[in-house]
Each structure stands twice: as C-alpha cells, then as structure tokens.
A and B are shown apart, each in its own frame.
Chain A
C-alpha cells in the first residue's frame, strides 16, 4: 500500500483515498463544512486546507487525492492562518444570531469558530440578507445563515434522487432553494437538516423546542417500517422531542425516513391513558381492576376456540411472546398478525426474510421487484437500491407498476403470466436473470396477497435453487414485509398448526366464528364489527380503539425496552426513552395481571425471562445487532396452484401507515401536501 507522511508520521493508505481521509487514518482531525463521507466531493468551503510539501499554496485536503510520498502538515502556522482566513470570510456574512438559532450547541460553524474564529470582525459593510425559502412542512429555513456548502443540494440529487434543491444566482447573491419554492417530494427530505452544518435548514416541528444539551439521548430502533433504522430518541423530561438517525452502515447508513423522524409528535397525541369500557354504547373511563375483571368474565363465558388474537405492526418480541403464552394458557390457537391474508411459508427462516441483506444490495448486479414499491414500503432500502444503481448502473426490473422510485427501471410485465414465463424460461428476461451472478428478487406483500401468492414465492424459490442462485455465498430471494413486527412474530412461531400459509383466520373472522377478539396494538386489520366482544390493547385511540368494547392502555415503542427483528432477520434492541403515559402499562405486564386474575400464577413471566426465551426461540440466531446465521437449503416441494392474475401494487398511504403516524400533526401536513400534488400536480 502507498505511504503518506502526515505531521511527520508515516502511514499507509488505500489507493483512491483523499488527503482528508488519509489524515483521518492518522487520527488527525480536519475541520470541514462541505465534505461529507456519503456525498460527492464539492471542495467549496475551503475549511480543510492543509500544507503540502512543494506546494506554494495550502491545498484543500478533501478534494486532493492522496499519493505516494506526499508530505502533509496540518499543525503549522500557515495552515492555521489559512483556516482563520477562511473562517473570517464565512463569518463575514453569517449572522450573529446563535442565541436564537436552533442549531446552537450542535453547529459545526459554532464549534469550529471556537478554534479558528477571530473575536472581531473586520467586515464593516452590511451583512447579506436572504429571504426565507419555503421547503415544505418539515424544513425550516433561515437562508441568511447559509454558508453555501451545497450538502443539501448534493443529498437531494445523489441520495434522495429528487433533484429539486439547487443554488441559484451567483457569487455573493447565491441562494439555496427548491425549484420555485416547492416542498421537497421525497421520503428522505428531512435528512438535509442533519446535513446542514449551520442553522440554515432546521427542523420545523422542533423549532425552539429544546437545546441539545438539555435532552436525554437514548439509542433505539425505529418501528415505522420493517427496515429497523437505528435512531436516537431525544427526550426532554418524559416528552420525546425529536428522533435522529444513528450511523449504521449495515442498515440505514446515516439517513432515516421522514416518517421515522417526525412521527414522534404522534406519541403525545390521541394517547390512551386509562382503561375504557363501553357502557350504553359509550366508552367510559374505568379502572384496571374493573377492566381486568370484565376480561376474565368474558374469557370464562366463551369457548377457547372462539377467542382470537391479532398482533399489531409495532409490537416487540417480548410482548408478542407474552401474548402467545397468554393465549396458550387460554388454549386458543387463533393467533394472527397479518393485516391482509398474504402467503407466507414459515417452515424455514429463509422464506420470510430479506436474505441478500440491505448492505448486500450493493453487491448485486440485477434487481427484480415483484409487486412492491420499496420507496414507500421501505424508504431506506430504496435509497440503498438507488445508491447501487447510481454507482454501478445495474439493471432494475419490475413486475407491476410501482410509479416513481427515484431510479430508472423497466417494467417487464404486470401479471402472474409473466412470472410463469420467467420461471419456465420462456422469456428473454430469464436469460438475463440466469446470466447475472448476484441477482436480487424482491417480492412484496402486494404479490403475496394474490391467490397465486404461493405460486409466485415457491416457484421463484425453486427457480433460484435449481439454477444455483441460492448458495452459500449468495441468496437472492427476498421478501419485503411492511411491518416492523412481522419477521419477529414469524420467528416466535405465532402462526401455528392448521394451514399457516394462507390463514383461515380471515375467513373465520368474516364468518363471525370468534366471540372474543383481542387486538394487541392492531389498527390496520379490517373488521366488520358484529356482536363479538373486542378488546383493544394499545397506545393510541386509533382505528382499533374505535371499534373496541374495552380498551387497555399500553406503552409505545419509545416507552419500553424490547427486541425487534428487522426484515433481514437482524435482532435489535429498542430502548426505553420515556415513561408510559397515565396509567398505561407495558403489554407483558397487562397479560401478567390478567393471568394472575385467571388464577394461573405459575404462568406469570418476568421481562428477563421473556427476553431469554425470545432469544432461545429465534431460529438461526447469532447475536444481537447481527445478521442471522445462514441455514442449509432445504428443497421442499410445495405444490401451489397458478391463477392468471394482474399484479396490482397496493398504494401505501405513506404518511399514515400506523397509529403513531396517524396521530401525528406533522405527518398529516405532509400527507395533505402530497395529496394536493397528486390532485392538481403542483404545490405551494
């Protein structure tokens, strides 16, 4: 490897690195504004100047490729003078409004001016003033503070794939704006707030809410979709003030979706704080004792097979296991977690996870989407596909029309007939698929919901195994589930006995076989309520609570510890950042109370026991935060029947997918704007 000398210390670096990256290897910190690891290099802030031997002028280290034998100095008076000069220019037009700026305390400019700033300004002219720009309901702008690093422009064009932000004008008059001040049409738009090194782009919902040093930071995981983005939950007292991304190159890199970031105001609204019981057709406040007594009465009044349970989209694994054990003690087997009846084969882990892994998308050389819109179903995963597309120009195909995915793709069909042709090699595309070394097939819930959902999945699996595209090194079979809880619940064997692939639960529900329906945080299940008794246990007064006869308040994902398994089968820990509201309790505590009342004291399980059992139950478990172990490929011949059907990708109401986001004011604003765009093609 080539060598470079930095401050007299010789280090080895990889070819293709820049001087700045080499300096980082040598543990030398270089101040910067425009340079960002995940974005292209702009080299326009000039803060990273360093001294290089044989160069008469200091060089911008972020843009200079490191080469063999370079001698870099970063601690000389020349460097300091140069950086001080740059800083003076940056501060010439930067307002001195740190006391009223939301970036204060976590501002790159503030931090770096501590080292390179001059206490007095020699700039006597008027400072530049720039009008605020409208960028949508999430991004607050104060463009006078902008230092023109263009990180936001590069993010929008490169990562988000919506080239809507740009720099207009020139020189002193340059301004950053969206095209004609429209709101940014991206699910990742709010990441520009994190990227902005100054307070030019700040968070609109979080404006003037708190200072960063006042917040308690809790590292957790997101449950808005199945990706399991790593987040940091910032709380002020017990209130969740904001959610920020945590760096995890395996999953979300440095980005999170807008829904992940801004649903948090929904954690404070529409909350269920005490148990409610329906009396005279009206929900009335009651006490825990009264509610639990009523549940026990109801349980005793029906047959075990008339009791059914449905688990919602944001339930952690401990709570789900506790629910399963509770149902076992009731001797009921009617447990379900799917919101629509889609095909899933829970026989082995490979059948329901994203086997290629999110980071593995970058290795692939062909992607086929089957009945899925990853942009809405898993925005972060879509960003990874786009990244791969931009870097390697890989061909991407889709069966069914998902709309704009921020990258180019080819629609190769819209019906199950097309899939039949592919797996029978009667199609040009089969050849492309076979000649690819690391193809990825992503099957979405919209495809699995079809009558031929089983055919689609099993035939693709057989096809890949037969052609050695599922092997020790590569597994291109991927299921994209939509809910954060789905994979974990499958691993806990919530579906048991009977025909688990297409469940009879939905038919039984339709035919009114159940007399007691227990909804555990489940708001997206379509129920035609009849005379069954519905218990809703959850955090928000949403669709589930609307039809319930009895409501038990429970904690949200930020208010309790719990394991979540993301779509790759990676188990991650969500941490308690705040406390349940009012009299609300963690779900497992509620089940313990009911079990106690039922007189089954030996069935009571503590949280630690539940967690231990979860980790023991999960197949192929390796370690927390790691991918599951690979299992041997079983070739099981499951016969499925083919129906000729159209593949229609169900459109997701992106900002309104779960009870938290539906309660969030910010999300409703985003949704309104999106609907307006759809209706008349413009916004603002």
Chain B
C-alpha cells in the first residue's frame, strides 16, 4: 500500500447538508471550545458518509475552515487513516481482510475472486454493477475468518462458493444478507451448541 492519492476529478464545492450540520453541532459539543480541531476525525467521517463514501478535497478545505485549522493538517489526518477514502469507491464497497488469521483461512482466494469478478486492481470501480474492492488490515472478526466487509456489514465464514454468490449478488445490485455463511449465529460455536453447561444463545 502506498500513500493514498487524491482523485483527479474533484467536485468544486462541498457543504454539509442541514441534517449533518446538526450532527456537527452535536459533535463539537464534545470538545472544549478552544480545541475545536479535535473534531476533525468525526467531521471527516461525516463528510465521507455524505459524499458517497469518499472525501473530496473541497470537503477537507471546508472542514479546515470550519474548524479554523490549516489545510495541511486536515490533509495529514485524511491521508494517515486508511478508512478515509480519498477517491470514489463503488456503491458496494468490499473490504477484504487479509491479515494473518483470515489469510490462513483462505483470504487470498477471496482476493482472487474479487480480481476476477469485480476489477483486476484494487480501488477500481467495476464495469458491471457499481462495486469496488480493496485489501485491508484486520477488521477484528478473526473468530469468523475469512471475512469481508461490504459497506457497513460483515460477511463471515466465507469460502469460494459463498464469496462468488455474494459478489454476483452485488453486481446484480441485489446484495445477500450479511452474517455467517456457515450457519453460525453471531460467533457461537459451530456444532456444539452448549457452552458452560447451558444452551448457547
């Protein structure tokens, strides 16, 4: 992974919607008046939400002016954290966890499928459907490895077959249900449903 590049086609303007402006007010209340710039991360996240899951330069400038901080500081934060997208992503944004536990359980196969079905490279919007994918570090769901995150949802316990199904459903814009694809409920044990002498949830 290299430094995230800002996208070539940038919208000229960015403004928070009225609804988001109310949220901004709420966020700013959490920080002392003199340290308004502490709110830069939640505000960037809010901007990303509002702008189809990516942050344009105009939004960084807007936030910098809003919080009275230098442009470069906002830019530093936005490029530091991997979860801020600085270029457009697909409507279905697939983040494949490739950290050790997932990789041991076959995340490389998922990556291969993404390359075949969506786009040959990361962060490229697919020709069919509106999808893009990228490799990410641990998403904290090692117990149900391998897994992918699609927009806000986790798809867990995947194998090649289920991944293919999910990807096809995304391309057809009819996403399948999130959760375990081996029939587990949350993170409960797979076959023995009893733990600690009681029936598990």
Contacts and interface: CB of A to CB of B under 8 A. Distances in A.
Interface of A: 157, 163-170, 173, 175, 178-180
Interface stretch (B23-31, B70-78, B114-122, B191-199): B70-78
Given A169-B3, A169-B4, A173-B2, A164 B72 contact: yes
Given A168-B79, A169-B79, A169-B80, A175 B3 contact: yes
A166 B76 contact: yes
Interface residues of B, number: 15
A168 B5 CA distance: 10
A165 B71 CA distance: 10
21 contacts: A163-B72, A164-B70, A164-B72, A166-B70, A166-B73, A166-B75, A166-B76, A167-B76, A168-B76, A168-B80, A169-B3, A169-B4, A169-B79, A169-B80, A170-B80, A170-B81, A173-B2, A175-B3, A178-B72, A179-B75, A180-B57
A173 B3 contact: yes
Interface string B45-73: 00000000000010000000000001111
B3 A163 contact: no
B70 A168 contact: no
Contacts of A179: 70-72, 75
B201 interface: no
A165 B57 CA distance: 17
Nearest to A177: B72
Contacts of B4: 169
A143 B64 CA distance: 26
Contacts of A165: 72
Interface string B1-28: 1111010000000000000000000000
A164 B2 CA distance: 22
Interface in B56-115: 57, 70-73, 75-76, 79-81
A162 to B, nearest CB: 9
Nearest to B70: A163
A175 B5 CA distance: 12
Contacts of B73: 163, 166
Contacts of B2: 169, 173
Contacts of B75: 166, 168, 179-180
A490 B168 CA distance: 86
A367 B72 CA distance: 30
Nearest to A179: B72
A163 B72 CA distance: 7
B124 to A, nearest CB: 20
Nearest to B79: A168
The 9 closest A-B pairs by CB, nearest first: A163-B70, A166-B72, A169-B3, A168-B79, A179-B72, A166-B76, A170-B80, A173-B3, A179-B71
Contacts of A168: 3, 75-76, 79-80
A407 to B, nearest CB: 14
B135 to A, nearest CB: 15
